[in-house]
Structure 1
Amino acid sequence: MKPKPSVEIVQYTAPARVGGPKVIIIGAGMSGISAGQRLSDAGISDFMILEATDRIGGRIHKTEFAGMNVEMGANWVEGVNIDPADDKINKVNPIWTMVHDELKLNTSLSNYDHLASNTYMEEGGLYDEGFVQKTINRADEVQKYGDRLSSNEKYGDITVMAMQRFHDHLPYGPTKPVDMVIDYYTNDYEFAEPPRVTSLQSTHPLPTFADFGDNVCFVADQQGFESVVHHVARQYLETDASTGDIVDPRLLLNKVVKKIKYTTDGVVVKTEDGWLYEADYVMVSVSIGVLQSNLIRFKPHLPHWKNMAMYQFDMAVYTKIFLKFPSKFWPDGPGTEFFLYASSRRGYFPVWQHLENEYPGSNILLVTVTDDESRRIEQQTDEETKAEAMEVLRKMFPNEDVPEATDILVPRWWSDRFFRGSFSNWPIGVDRYEYDLIRAPVGRVYFPGEHTSERYNGYVHGAYLAGKDSADILIECVKKGENQNECVDAGTLKYDVPGKYE
């Protein structure tokens, strides 16, 4: 056993000729890296990034599978306008600009228009297209009703399921297999949680699509979606000229933060390997799931209002399972990329995608599960999951010789102590007040992250923009110069007043 150090070492590493306050950024995902860029642009370069894993990117992570790189986490750029004539959209998703224009990554437009002709019965064979289309049309009608109801502030917030019931749609929730799988595709497939817990006001209409466009593009590039995070990091972190690798001494990997002590004078961050790092400010860019866990302890404890705001949010789990086959047995060609399995068990291997468009000749299927199914699958072996998936596929295609999958990849975001899930989902009742609380600093402790994005929580662009927003709050405080302590005190006391959490 490695002996513990007899004394704790205080260290702060920073390059020469730097100015401004010292800042520690915890987490090198999109939000933390984005925050660092904004600080650097503002002339604050005396900072350090502590990352718990051996890489940057966070929940954007490629991995090798069956001889190629696939995405374990974020995979789509959501909110893309491919119709230049659409004058209703006047914003461009900043992630799409990087992916498409700057990095020129390989992407594929995801087309879900043919689900009615690609919905499979529980025991095999396709449903009648007209029958499924009626179910889809009804779901679309209810969604539009939800958009109108959400815009009427006098009703307040309700769950998506309550809205469905209000519109006399599936009053007891969907019970038939086709109803369930269409409802799952419409809601869970996007938010990773069912309509009974999802907020209507935060999802209808969905700001990402309303602001940037209705299209979604699947990133299928061997550089990986995480190259976007590297692209942002290279704007201000030192890189090796020959390899392009980030070699900046301000980025420290494999540094697991276990404790943050904060006072009105500064912060001290302690890592699991026994090091202490001192700074003027700290930005805690970790997931809401990690904030809700006991991985990082705060001294003093975070105030009641902060914890109450954080614990209201859900950390959803979205699992993309990849299966590699020796040969192709599913339909391919135009209009077949996405297909549904209408099980009597809601959310059981429901949404499938073949990757022939993205990785021609790969013979890979992708199936998405979420929420309770994700947590269940994470607790069993990959072989058990493969057996379940194979049983489903053989039911779907009873007249095909379905070969055994040769490889399977099952991400485990919920079980990973550095993430505790995939992305945040705003529950019912979270309004502007809670939003201000969730992103508000506590003294010298700041909180970037996709969960703090008012309009785009749960998305990569939400993480990117939230990192910049949080850095802007810190920068404004720093600009007060000699009055920094006054700024810090005000930043805390602003929210420490009698209210719904006091």
Structure 2
Amino acid sequence: MGCLTNTMKLIMNFLIILLATLQAVSSLPECGELDAEVLILGAGMAGINAARTLFDEGMTDFLIIEAKPQIGGRIFHSEIRPGGAKVELGANWIQGVDPDDPEAHPLYELAQRCGGIQGNFSDFDSIIEYDSTGLQVSDLLDYDGIADAYENVEYISTARQADGQTDITVREALLQSNWTVDSNEDAFLDWFCFDFCFAEPPDNTSLFHSQPLSTYTDFGNASNTEDFLISDQSGYAKLVECIADGILGINNSRLLLETKVNIIKWSDDCVCVETYRDGVMKEYCASYAIITFSIGVLQSEEINMKFEPDLPEWKLDVINMFSMAHYLKMYAEFPTVFWDDVEFIGYVSDVRGYFPLFLSENLFLPDGNNVLQITTTGEIATRLLLQNENETINELVQVLRSIYGSNVTEPTAFIQSTWYTDPYFLGSYSNIPLGVTNQTFIDLAAPVGRVYFSGEATSMQYNGFVHGAYFAGRDSAEAVLESISIGVSVVANLLLVMFVVIFVLLF
């Protein structure tokens, strides 16, 4: 009897220790009652695909919090005027599609599964260039020279990395490739072949992470890949909506729109998010959180929201290593089409990057929409956006008149993207300056406590692209699922140990 009593005491003591251990593993003392297992902050491509990944793996206990009134994030379209054509104010292209193997690209394949999406493969050979006097200068542009230079830039990048050499800027690599900007025509090509994609000049950009080779080699024949321009009146966001289809619950119960995140409280146990909606504060708590905010928002978190406690220095250092580019898209509608019947019109200005490129949207939009898309980047884009809109329209008209004559009228409708001034974006997409390494990307995505970081900026292969956000959302969700699995495994192992010990003590 005494032996049995001692055995029972041992069992009771073991159970007490085990229960205390289980409580340490599974309880969330700082959060109390949880609203979800996972909070997803941001309903752009990364956030929605993170939710889809969780859902497809059987994890349905998630909540998506989005400040905007719709999903899509930096994928957004709007009517150029009431009743007019819808134009993309955010992302516009699916890059790196092989027309002979279109399903190899995840976004293009998604578009087909979602019923197709209207658009065309951009023809960058369908371009005519003018200088500021209205003179056609296409014959003066050395496209072959800059193409050869960039081919050598790719070689330099590969060779330097293979030899373990340090990173340099793209500009330095271009100089080593005998490409120098000696004329207005050279400056236009310099912008068209780099800034038009990256939204920042070669001077500011890392060589090792600047060439989007994987985008044009991973999804088909590298010599055959093209960029698909979306003109569908349902918008690019149709793809995000397709991913979200069926996962948001009854009456979108897993989605909170127009809900601003104010404070993110994190620990090693849980995450609580203080939000505001219609002036009412509410807190949501979960075991994990996935943040898909832009680099611009993370860099200015004291303005938009804050972390409690502050993020550790190593995470802040990584976040601040990136830059947030500014890509300004403007759309102008005119009574008639007065411009050339080509896809692109280049403007070779005396100032690099000043109204450099026009896209004939009328070729792809529904009939009767005489629309030009105008692209600028960097400091010029910032100046144009921050000034009075009428001043920007006046500058635009003067440029067009210098090309096509004084009969060019003012546009009947005008709209422009506002990524740079939107407090929920603060820029278009991330760019990679000198100093960023492969480890930087790993550290950027790495969790702090139970907060995981996602979005296009965290994608090492496809940084800045929509498919970068797509894959980043998937990867962050899989990382959270793995962490949950490890936690469950720990508890299961402890339970197994408990039963084994009880069995040994009793028998």
1:368-383 maps to which residues of 2 (within 5 A)? Answer: 368-383=375-390
CA distance in 1, matches of 2:154, 2:211: 5
Counterpart pick for 1:27 among 42, 51, 54: 42
- Measured against aligned partners, the alpha-carbon deviations of 1:6-62 in whole angstroms (never above 9, x if no partner) come to xxx998656xxxxxxx11111000100000111111221111111011111000001
1:218 aligns to 2:229 (yes or no): yes
1:93 aligns to 2:105 (yes or no): yes
CA distance in 1, matches of 2:244, 2:126: 39
Counterpart for residue 326 of structure 1? 335
Counterpart pick for 2:211 among 204, 210, 215: 204
1:382, 1:410 within 8 Å by CA — same for their partners in 2?
no
1:237-386 maps to which residues of 2 (within 5 A)? Answer: 237-238=248-249, 247-272=251-276, 273-293=280-300, 294=302, 295-332=304-341, 336-359=342-365, 360-386=367-393
1:226-241 maps to which residues of 2 (within 5 A)? Answer: 226-238=237-249
Counterpart pick for 2:65 among 17, 42, 50: 50
Superposition deviation, residue 482 in structure 1: 4.4
Superposition CA RMSD, Å: 1.9
CA distance in 2, matches of 1:330, 1:101: 37
TM-score normalised to structure 1 length: 0.86
Amino acid at match of 2:61: D
CA distance in 1, matches of 2:212, 2:375: 24
2:321, 2:435 within 8 Å by CA — same for their partners in 1?
no
Counterpart pick for 1:447 among 450, 453, 472: 453
1:107-186 maps to which residues of 2 (within 5 A)? Answer: 107-115=119-127, 118-127=128-137, 129-132=138-141, 135-152=142-159, 153=161, 154=163, 155-170=165-180, 174-186=181-193
Amino acid at match of 1:328: V
CA distance in 2, matches of 1:52, 1:102: 26
Counterpart for residue 499 of structure 1? none
Stretches of structure 1 lacking an aligned partner (at least 5 in a row):
1-8, 15-21, 240-246, 486-502
Counterpart for residue 497 of structure 1? none
- Measured against aligned partners, the alpha-carbon deviations of 1:183-213 in whole angstroms (never above 9, x if no partner) come to 1000000000000011211133522112225
Superposition deviation, residue 363 in structure 1: 0.8
SS in 1 for 2:319: helix
CA distance in 2, matches of 1:75, 1:343: 25
- Measured against aligned partners, the alpha-carbon deviations of 1:230-280 in whole angstroms (never above 9, x if no partner) come to 1001142236xxxxxxx2211001110011111122111101331111111
Superposition deviation, residue 177 in structure 1: 1.2
CA distance in 2, matches of 1:114, 1:101: 30
1:104 aligns to 2:116 (yes or no): yes
1:76 aligns to 2:106 (yes or no): no
- Measured against aligned partners, the alpha-carbon deviations of 1:368-422 in whole angstroms (never above 9, x if no partner) come to 0111112111211211110000000000113x62122111111111111001111
CA distance in 2, matches of 1:281, 1:324: 47
Counterpart for residue 438 of structure 1? 444
1:61, 1:71 within 8 Å by CA — same for their partners in 2?
yes
1:61, 1:72 within 8 Å by CA — same for their partners in 2?
yes
Change (3 A) 1:480 1:12: closer
**Higher Rg:** 2
1:125, 1:397 within 8 Å by CA — same for their partners in 2?
no
2:419, 2:428 within 8 Å by CA — same for their partners in 1?
yes
Change (3 A) 1:484 1:303: farther
Counterpart for residue 27 of structure 2? none
SS in 1 for 2:211: coil
Superposition deviation, residue 473 in structure 1: 0.8
TM-score normalised to structure 2 length: 0.85
Higher mean alpha-carbon deviation, 197-206 vs 48-57, is at: 197-206
State the identity as a percent.
37
Superposition deviation, residue 428 in structure 1: 1.9
CA distance in 2, matches of 1:215, 1:180: 24
1:108, 1:357 within 8 Å by CA — same for their partners in 2?
no
Superposition deviation, residue 98 in structure 1: 1.6
SS in 2 for 1:151: helix
CA distance in 2, matches of 1:37, 1:60: 17
2:35, 2:286 within 8 Å by CA — same for their partners in 1?
no
Stretches of structure 2 lacking an aligned partner (at least 5 in a row):
1-30, 492-507
1:13, 1:250 within 8 Å by CA — same for their partners in 2?
no
Superposition deviation, residue 358 in structure 1: 0.8
Amino acid at match of 2:176: F
SS in 2 for 1:96: helix
CA distance in 1, matches of 2:441, 2:227: 26
CA distance in 2, matches of 1:74, 1:358: 16
CA distance in 2, matches of 1:370, 1:276: 39
CA distance in 2, matches of 1:482, 1:355: 53
Change (3 A) 1:393 1:11: farther
Amino acid at match of 1:286: F
Change (3 A) 1:325 1:37: same
Change (3 A) 1:447 1:159: same
SS in 1 for 2:104: coil
